[in-house]
Structure 1
Amino acid sequence: MAKKKKKPQSKLKYKFTKKLVHLFESHPHKNFSEKEIIQIMGVKSTSDRKLIHDVLIELTTFNIVKAVQRGVYRIAQGSERHNAENVVEGTIDFNQRGAAYLIVDGMEDDIFIHSNNTGKAFHQDKVRVELFKRQGKIEGKVIDVVERKRTEFVGTVDVGKSTVFVRPEESRMPVDFFIEKGHLKNAKHGDKVIVKFLSWPGGSKSPLGGVIERLGKPGNMDVDMNVILAENGFPTHFPRAVELEADAIQEPNYNEEAKKRRDFRKTLTFTIDPIDAKDFDDALSFQELKNGNYEIGIHIADVSHYVTPGSKLDLEAYSRGNSVYLVDRVIPMLPEVLSNKLCSLRPKEEKLTFSAVFEITPDAKVVNEWFGKTVIYSDHRFTYEQAQEIIEGQAENKEFGDVILTMDKVAKILRKKRLQAGALNVESQEVRFELDEKGNPVGLKIKVSKDANKLIEEFMLLANRKVASYIGEPKKGKKVIPFVYRTHDEPDEAKISDLKGFLAEFGYSIPQVKNKPISYGLNQVMEKAKEKDELHIIGPLVIRSMSKAVYETDNIGHYGLAFDYYTHFTSPIRRYADLLVHRILFEQLNGRTYKDSNMLDDWCKHISGTEKSATEAERESIKYMQVKFMEDKVGRTYSGKVTGVTDWGIFVELDETKCEGLLHINNLPGRYVLDTKIKHLVSKEGHENYHLGMAVEVVVKNVDLVKKQMDLILPDDLMF
């Protein structure tokens, strides 16, 4: 299970900070020992005394108080407050109103920065900030930009009478870019472009920028999808030098490679993937052993054989971090010659792989494991649908039928064990659009995870878990090496408290099961929600209460999967994290030390960031396609359910199309206010109140492709 990261009690910390500052300011010439302070504050518990100590250290860091000697403090005088000790470095995080917060590593509370004090910083820049106190609270002022997070932005060209600006798409960018003549690159008013930051002259209100790529007019699907990609930092094409390097890679001599690897070419091997998949990362092999156990191999594309550290291919893959899967296209991490051909485990072809091979008993106990480089031959490619038909007995396959049924049984036992250990069983409805030859949405269907999907999932989880355990578990006489773990922290207590309140509104309570984590009770809640057809409401609430999984070298386990050790090993074609794991594992298997271990912390932060950006791009493409699908349905009435309640209106998911739109508060009868405690939008004049999960009838008023937004109103008879 995940080892919970310690989180200070923020409210109590704020209370102590306020009291301490008041104490020191009330006695500007007095020195206080820590023991005196604890007595004055009336603190008794060990945890509170520790928190007092931490607050004092933090106040000295901010130069609000000064340490006269060890354990003795006084208020810092005016001249002492404005020196290098009063300056901190961190990442600036803007909000949509132009103000910002400074996030400092190792500091629990962020530092507020007023919109007048953000200087020449952009969202997510690394900045140096001078700290000062205003009305008893610590604030900051940007005095220097240490490092730009981004220098390229997506925006709209605004041509005025005598000036040209590019207005960034990102709502948290505090300024527009001024474009001088010669830097417009034939872009016209209203065009979407990529603008590069050039400079920010002293005294100027706006930074200078230059257009480096014209994307086109908004409203065109290709343009709008490219805008989504560019805004999230993903290029739409590979640099020519990277393409040339990829094209120069020769297909290996598999017979020669087999002399250096374990040869699985004569072992029954197959893949199971989505029907439209092109990059096949993984394959499974199976053979029954004489002792009645099974040898099951999880074979993963050996990308590290082709992509060498420091090469142009490697640097580009690292920059991207992962492939991006939009509704109508895939932006691969690696050029097509690798992702869809050389590395892809296509049927009836020999391939180089990195494998995790297990001897497993019929009751799913792993009794032996082996990791290493291999060569395989995939005998068959199954789609999930084809494999599911075999599992359900609707289709026969003489060569593979019994194998798939046996592996399905093993996978189900593995899954049962995982859930019994406290793994979260989160099922979500995923909508997939059916596209015509031009990429326009013409229909949709709900993607359901069936036994065939879960079969692949369990064996991939097994490989990932066992690789992480092999590297991470302490071994006698051996030092644990730095590694890339996939970690997932325990949920925050405050979020779980909020979740309990929301669930109570729907008549659910989280059962407390003896010697089981809260995830065990959450699974029971979701099972009941599934029976009541409310999972699409309850599932997202549970997910939002959880921490986010990230890549880290500091292993705290994976709470959601109930694993003490976990990593990503199984998808190196589309995730750079897996490529790193392959390199580290290979060095370890050969008794060598991975030479770039000191870089892993920075790399983990980077790939966690690109994963977040890819997820955001994928969500935006879904929103766009939903709006596109509803373009010709304006004026129609639909039944739906409330999926979000805010102080500006309610979000409604339509039952028929599964598309979500906003019913703005201005389009509700009379005045409404948000009850934040129970998340209800409450009418002041006795009209209908709105809450999560509530069934409603709405009319599609308008769709806006540029904003990726669908506006809803109530039917006429409900407005009066």
Structure 2
Amino acid sequence: MGRKNNGKKGDRKKSGHPHKTHNEYKGKLEITRSGMGFVIVEGLETDILVRPSDFNSAMHGDTVRVRLKEDRGGKRKQGVVVGVSERKQSEFVGKLEMNKGFAFFVAEGDKRMPDIYIPEKAFNNATENDRVVVRVKEWSDDKSKRPVGEVVSILNAGDANDMAMKEILLEAGFPIEFPDEVMEEAARIPDAIPESEIKKRKDFRDVLTFTIDPVDAKDFDDALSIKVLKNGNYQIGVHIADVSYYVQPDTALDEFAYKKATSVYLPDRVNPMLPEHISNVLCSLRPNEDKLTFSAVFEMSPKGAVKKYWLGRTAIHSNHRFTYEEVQEIIEKETGIYSDEILLLNSIARRLRAKRFDAGAINFSSTEVRFKLDEKGKPIGIVVKESKESHQLIEEFMLLANKFVAQHVSKIEVAKKPIPFPYRVHDLPNEEKMLPFMAFAKKFGHKFDTSSPEKIAESFNTMLKDVQGKPEQHVLEQLGIRTMAKAAYTTDNIGHYGLGFENYCHFTSPIRRYPDVMVHRVLEEILSGKVHPDKKMEAKCKHCSERERAAMEAERAANKYKQVEYMRDFLGEEFEGVISGVAAFGFWVETIEHKCEGMVSITSLAEYDEFRLVDTDYSLVGMRSGRKFRMGDKVRIKVIAANLEKRQLDYEWVLTATVDEEERTTIQEKPKQKTKRKKKKSEE
């Protein structure tokens, strides 16, 4: 597996700091619970302190311009915000305080922000003390003027779940409503496809085509077609919803989609990147309807070798909509509608998957946990989703399309320079993280060859194969994932280490990811021969990576809320669990039965011993008893607290009969020993 990174990440031009102009810096403002602010500037060793009186109109998460104050000899630079470049959040949850002819909106949460002025015409039927969502329409840098806003929606005080989910989205910077101008633009797009547009495209409407998606999906953004060729090979098409046909640059629709950059999937809802009419109707590749698509079409041998490929805009007509469960049943029973085609595609997908791992891809498996919810969104059970062959079938053909699109673009140059393009990259493992992990894995008999990136990947795969079904499987898989770099979007094509690809991008999900829309637009320019290099592409990639991380954090927060809500029904009960993380202040335990994670605080262990963190062993160790709580260990816990507001579960370790008898005696006698030592010290 080759690497294309010729320089080091973070290299700076000699001309100066990239985020500094004269005595000003550009960075992200983070406001602590105490109210103090810090501007984090990329490449600057220390953050810039900003006092609340110097925020001006800036708020937590905003990208700001900050001017340094006169150096008074302190260790930390201090500054004042002189402008806001980008707002993280424009919608907020809080309460209304009514006055005659106007109201003030008072935001909730622990992050400082000014009250928002709401004129009477913008109340939207809200009244005194209503809990509402407000959108800011006007910001002012004048300290004497408050931001001006409008009530977007009134929250149902009796629906705590709805309020919590909306707060999570807004805190992460994802608006919960589409602005009127966006909805109007979406409504104006005609449903009917002009015949003139179909004539410009390759017509696949007569080729057998179907979609495979989750049972509850409504936005079908990919479809597969298959056709037997006269030479014995197969023509396999990967057809992707042509969002870029409907969402044009420099429109309110496009600007808002770019701002969000991704759909967000919470346990009980989807916060979509695009309005429902586009994502679920116009672009969704629904069965028995003509649809516009952007396609990667491959001529493949029965053994899965790509002989030829074609990229371009197409028209399709899906013959059938499959769920993953239906396809899995066809694979297992070898019978059913279009079973020959499904089994053939699965056979090729298996070969593609094996070839990918042989070439250096890392075979990390993931188990997805979802809550079963009642009609009010309350969790009533746990569903564990496994990655089966039906999922892997779709995954392999999507990976193939993404790889070939990136590979095609990487060969094109304009004025002897690569075209700015949103590659999806994954860097080499961090050496500092790898060393303690390798030492830990060695305790279970797993050795790593670090002579090359390829050998590291090979070692990972050997370990992952060997630990299947063993007690240490979960901990080594989780720790292995944590040693990996985070995938991101960038114009710097360094390859994708985890997949083992030299070229990779996201082409296959434009309904829910904005980078895919950018990929479609660049590819269309290349295919039409009218390339206009986007000088802002790297900044757009950075924005999309940041929004992706924010969406993941929102999804984690929402899942945590559901875990806490679910475990409230089990306060005082005991369960078996696995230690999922350790820190100096305690350890986390994930219950085996519910997959719900909580914290066992080190203070709750004080009656047994004094525990210290041993980083290299991912464990807490008792100073006197030698009792060890190591990541991956099975323990018994009691649920002692479930705080929905903080989204926090507290567990207590339960001393059980399974603890070694000698260790049990040592732990139980410890307080007496401590008393004797104190007495002896006083006598001395």
Please, what TM-score do these two structures have when normalized by structure 1? Answer: 0.80
- Give the partner amino acid of 1:233: G
Corresponding residue for residue 565 of structure 2: 628
- Counterparts of 1:396-415 in structure 2, within 5 Å, are 396-397=335-336, 400-415=338-353
Pick closer, same or farther for the CA change 1:694–1:100 going to 2, 3 Å.
farther
Task: Using the TM superposition, give the Cα deviation of residue 265 of structure 1 relative to its aligned residue in structure 2, in angstroms.
Answer: 1.1
Matched, 1:712 2:647: no
Task: Using the TM superposition, give the Cα deviation of residue 252 of structure 1 relative to its aligned residue in structure 2, in angstroms.
Answer: 3.0
Matched, 1:353 2:332: no
Corresponding residue for residue 690 of structure 1: 629
Pick closer, same or farther for the CA change 1:503–1:218 going to 2, 3 Å.
farther
Judge conservation of contact 1:5–1:489 (CA < 8 Å) in 2. Answer: no
Task: Using the TM superposition, give the Cα deviation of residue 102 of structure 1 relative to its aligned residue in structure 2, in angstroms.
Answer: 4.6
Q: Give SS of 2:535's match.
A: helix
Judge conservation of contact 2:209–2:317 (CA < 8 Å) in 1. Answer: yes
- Counterparts of 1:193-208 in structure 2, within 5 Å, are 194=134, 196=136
Task: Using the TM superposition, give the Cα deviation of residue 637 of structure 1 relative to its aligned residue in structure 2, in angstroms.
Answer: 0.9
Task: Please list the CA deviations of residues 508-545 of structure 1 after superposition, one character each: whole Å capped at 9, or x if unmatched.
Answer: 43345778241221122222333314443222222222
Structure 1 range deviating more: 453-462 or 614-623: 614-623
Pick closer, same or farther for the CA change 1:662–1:209 going to 2, 3 Å.
farther
Corresponding residue for residue 493 of structure 2: 555
Give the one of 144, 149, 163 matched to 2:82. Answer: 144
Judge conservation of contact 1:681–1:689 (CA < 8 Å) in 2. Answer: yes
Distance, in Å, in 2 between the alignment partners of 1:611 and 1:149 is 16
Corresponding residue for residue 189 of structure 2: 249
Corresponding residue for residue 15 of structure 1: none
Pick closer, same or farther for the CA change 1:618–1:650 going to 2, 3 Å.
same
Corresponding residue for residue 110 of structure 1: 45
Task: Using the TM superposition, give the Cα deviation of residue 669 of structure 1 relative to its aligned residue in structure 2, in angstroms.
Answer: 3.6
Distance, in Å, in 2 between the alignment partners of 1:481 and 1:575 is 21
Corresponding residue for residue 591 of structure 2: 654
Judge conservation of contact 2:420–2:538 (CA < 8 Å) in 1. Answer: no
- Counterparts of 1:517-532 in structure 2, within 5 Å, are 517-532=455-470
Corresponding residue for residue 173 of structure 2: 233
Task: Using the TM superposition, give the Cα deviation of residue 139 of structure 1 relative to its aligned residue in structure 2, in angstroms.
Answer: 3.6
Q: Identify unmatched segments of 5+ residues in structure 1.
A: 10-50, 63-83
Task: Using the TM superposition, give the Cα deviation of residue 475 of structure 1 relative to its aligned residue in structure 2, in angstroms.
Answer: 6.7
Distance, in Å, in 2 between the alignment partners of 1:243 and 1:153 is 17
Distance, in Å, in 2 between the alignment partners of 1:531 and 1:130 is 57
Task: Using the TM superposition, give the Cα deviation of residue 478 of structure 1 relative to its aligned residue in structure 2, in angstroms.
Answer: 6.6
Task: Using the TM superposition, give the Cα deviation of residue 696 of structure 1 relative to its aligned residue in structure 2, in angstroms.
Answer: 0.8
Distance, in Å, in 2 between the alignment partners of 1:659 and 1:382 is 32
Task: Please list the CA deviations of residues 563-596 of structure 1 after superposition, one character each: whole Å capped at 9, or x if unmatched.
Answer: 11111111111111111111111121111123x6
Judge conservation of contact 1:200–1:208 (CA < 8 Å) in 2. Answer: no
Pick closer, same or farther for the CA change 1:418–1:588 going to 2, 3 Å.
same
Q: Give SS of 1:682's match.
A: strand
Pick closer, same or farther for the CA change 1:143–1:325 going to 2, 3 Å.
closer
Identity of aligned residues (%): 41
Task: Using the TM superposition, give the Cα deviation of residue 140 of structure 1 relative to its aligned residue in structure 2, in angstroms.
Answer: 4.5
Pick closer, same or farther for the CA change 1:167–1:684 going to 2, 3 Å.
farther
Give the one of 281, 305, 314 matched to 2:221. Answer: 281
Corresponding residue for residue 437 of structure 1: 375
Task: Please list the CA deviations of residues 277-307 of structure 1 after superposition, one character each: whole Å capped at 9, or x if unmatched.
Answer: 1100010011111111111000111112211
Judge conservation of contact 1:192–1:227 (CA < 8 Å) in 2. Answer: no
Q: Identify unmatched segments of 5+ residues in structure 2.
A: 98-102, 657-663, 669-684
Q: Give SS of 2:60's match.
A: coil
Judge conservation of contact 2:437–2:483 (CA < 8 Å) in 1. Answer: yes
Distance, in Å, in 1 between the alignment partners of 2:352 and 2:334 is 25
Task: Using the TM superposition, give the Cα deviation of residue 251 of structure 1 relative to its aligned residue in structure 2, in angstroms.
Answer: 2.4
- Give the partner amino acid of 2:536: M
Corresponding residue for residue 642 of structure 1: 579
Task: Using the TM superposition, give the Cα deviation of residue 679 of structure 1 relative to its aligned residue in structure 2, in angstroms.
Answer: 3.3
Pick closer, same or farther for the CA change 1:351–1:198 going to 2, 3 Å.
closer
Judge conservation of contact 1:421–1:562 (CA < 8 Å) in 2. Answer: yes
Pick closer, same or farther for the CA change 1:384–1:165 going to 2, 3 Å.
closer
Matched, 1:372 2:312: yes
Matched, 1:390 2:320: no
Pick closer, same or farther for the CA change 1:187–1:556 going to 2, 3 Å.
farther
Pick closer, same or farther for the CA change 1:633–1:248 going to 2, 3 Å.
same
Distance, in Å, in 2 between the alignment partners of 1:423 and 1:577 is 23
Task: Using the TM superposition, give the Cα deviation of residue 467 of structure 1 relative to its aligned residue in structure 2, in angstroms.
Answer: 0.7
Distance, in Å, in 1 between the alignment partners of 2:297 and 2:118 is 62
Pick closer, same or farther for the CA change 1:348–1:165 going to 2, 3 Å.
closer
Q: Give SS of 2:429's match.
A: coil
- Give the partner amino acid of 1:487: V
Pick closer, same or farther for the CA change 1:484–1:8 going to 2, 3 Å.
closer
- Counterparts of 1:59-78 in structure 2, within 5 Å, are none
Distance, in Å, in 1 between the alignment partners of 2:414 and 2:165 is 53
Q: Give SS of 2:468's match.
A: helix
- Give the partner amino acid of 1:633: F
Q: Give SS of 2:54's match.
A: coil
Q: Give SS of 2:529's match.
A: coil
Pick closer, same or farther for the CA change 1:606–1:58 going to 2, 3 Å.
closer
Distance, in Å, in 2 between the alignment partners of 1:307 and 1:294 is 33
- Give the partner amino acid of 2:202: R
Judge conservation of contact 2:264–2:270 (CA < 8 Å) in 1. Answer: yes
Task: Using the TM superposition, give the Cα deviation of residue 633 of structure 1 relative to its aligned residue in structure 2, in angstroms.
Answer: 1.6
- Counterparts of 1:130-209 in structure 2, within 5 Å, are 130=68, 139-142=77-80, 144-150=82-88, 152=90, 154=92, 166=106, 169=109, 173=111, 175-178=112-115, 191=131, 194=134, 196=136
Distance, in Å, in 1 between the alignment partners of 2:439 and 2:91 is 41
Judge conservation of contact 1:432–1:445 (CA < 8 Å) in 2. Answer: yes
Structure 1 range deviating more: 517-526 or 329-338: 517-526
Pick closer, same or farther for the CA change 1:178–1:118 going to 2, 3 Å.
closer
Q: Give SS of 2:237's match.
A: strand
Judge conservation of contact 2:118–2:149 (CA < 8 Å) in 1. Answer: no
The alignment covers a number of residue pairs equal to: 643
- Give the partner amino acid of 2:289: E
Judge conservation of contact 2:604–2:652 (CA < 8 Å) in 1. Answer: yes
Distance, in Å, in 1 between the alignment partners of 2:228 and 2:118 is 72
Distance, in Å, in 2 between the alignment partners of 1:366 and 1:144 is 56
Distance, in Å, in 1 between the alignment partners of 2:291 and 2:116 is 51
- Counterparts of 1:418-497 in structure 2, within 5 Å, are 418-474=356-412, 480-497=418-435
Pick closer, same or farther for the CA change 1:331–1:193 going to 2, 3 Å.
closer
Judge conservation of contact 2:89–2:173 (CA < 8 Å) in 1. Answer: no
Please, what TM-score do these two structures have when normalized by structure 2? Answer: 0.84
Give the one of 493, 513, 521 matched to 1:575. Answer: 513
Q: Give SS of 1:531's match.
A: coil
Task: Using the TM superposition, give the Cα deviation of residue 228 of structure 1 relative to its aligned residue in structure 2, in angstroms.
Answer: 1.0
Distance, in Å, in 2 between the alignment partners of 1:157 and 1:698 is 39
Structure 1 range deviating more: 146-155 or 701-710: 146-155
Pick closer, same or farther for the CA change 1:611–1:413 going to 2, 3 Å.
same
Pick closer, same or farther for the CA change 1:246–1:144 going to 2, 3 Å.
closer
Pick closer, same or farther for the CA change 1:264–1:143 going to 2, 3 Å.
closer
Q: Give SS of 1:111's match.
A: coil
- Counterparts of 1:89-100 in structure 2, within 5 Å, are 89-93=26-30
- Give the partner amino acid of 1:550: A
Distance, in Å, in 2 between the alignment partners of 1:252 and 1:208 is 43
Judge conservation of contact 1:569–1:581 (CA < 8 Å) in 2. Answer: yes
Task: Using the TM superposition, give the Cα deviation of residue 55 of structure 1 relative to its aligned residue in structure 2, in angstroms.
Answer: 13
Pick closer, same or farther for the CA change 1:442–1:251 going to 2, 3 Å.
same
Task: Using the TM superposition, give the Cα deviation of residue 151 of structure 1 relative to its aligned residue in structure 2, in angstroms.
Answer: 5.2
Q: Give SS of 1:270's match.
A: strand
Task: Using the TM superposition, give the Cα deviation of residue 405 of structure 1 relative to its aligned residue in structure 2, in angstroms.
Answer: 1.4
Structure 1 range deviating more: 673-682 or 409-418: 673-682
Matched, 1:681 2:616: no
Task: Using the TM superposition, give the Cα deviation of residue 137 of structure 1 relative to its aligned residue in structure 2, in angstroms.
Answer: 5.9
Corresponding residue for residue 305 of structure 1: 245
